[in-house]
Copies of this chain bind each other. A is one copy, B any other.
């Protein structure tokens, strides 16, 4: 194997290619990167000499440039390589900061209240040396972005995960249930209520989020647009409103406080596919022993939790 000329390949070259593709011109790319136009021009010339193919079509004059076929293909590789370098960089600075014994984990509310207590207790018993830093966010997407940027080592997430440099593991399936005021006729049915029956009710729900959108689109598939009369980010508020008779709520079982006597919980028997909760981490980043152990413990805890479905 002799990468010969390719050995001189510089990250700088790839970044230049990418920036030019972004900006659509040598000059603007140069400006963004803090170089001269001349420098960029020469960098691309070198890159083209290395790969042996013209990468950018320069029509001459003020006409816009465009990538050749080869340029487009190489660009995709360049992006992958740059991403990998960013991952390496994140690994290095984590190491530099002495993060070996620290684990930064992203969570959201329902995981926080039901899964984390047991999980954290168990984990810190088994791994007393590891400090866990939790980061709870109402905005799920933010958690993923933090994983991508290397600001979190792991995050909980409702699967599936959008395209990106992620690896995942499934932890548990959290079925959706209907929460109704205690004594509501919907709780007395011998059968689970249909989606249409639900869509006809006044609804109380969570603010827009992945999981909620999923529920809404399922309800909409009945042909009737669901009528949300109130939304909140807080489980307690939602459940309080249901208890007060404001409406009914479709919620993942884990978010429901089943000890609340003002409401009744109705099984939907899978009429809406369950919310799948998983753990997500960066595909390209180093997985510390602590992170591996955390995932393992999480899997174990969730398996137990699934076996005793809130049978208090």
Residues of A within 8 A of B (CB): 1, 3, 6-12, 15, 51-53, 69-70, 73-74, 76-77, 80-82, 84-89, 91-93, 95-96, 100, 284, 286
Contact = CB atoms under 8 A, between A and B. Distances in A.
A12 B284 CA distance: 21
Given A6-B11, A84-B84, A88-B77, A69 B51 contact: no
A93 B51 CA distance: 8
B70 A92 contact: yes
Contact of A284 (B6, B77, B88, B286): B77
Given A70-B92, A77-B91, A95-B69, A86 B9 contact: no
Contacts of A15: 3, 7
Task: Tell me how many chains of this kind the complex includes.
Answer: 2
A180 to B, nearest CB: 45
A9 B93 CA distance: 16
Given A52-B96, A85-B81, A92-B70, A7 B3 contact: no
Contacts of A84: 77, 80-81, 84
Nearest to A10: B10
A290 to B, nearest CB: 13
A92 B74 contact: yes
A69 B286 CA distance: 11
B89 A85 contact: no
Which of A81, A96, A100 is most buried by chain B, counting CB atoms within 10 A of its CB? A81
B77 A87 contact: yes
A96 B286 contact: no
A9 to B, nearest CB: 4
Nearest to A95: B70
Contact of A9 (B11, B53, B69, B91): B11
Contact of A11 (B7, B89, B96): B7
A85 B286 CA distance: 20
A53 B8 contact: no
Contacts of A73: 88, 91-92, 95, 286
A154 to B, nearest CB: 17
Contacts of A6: 11, 85, 89
Contacts of A3: 11, 15, 82, 85-86, 89
Contacts of A70: 92, 95
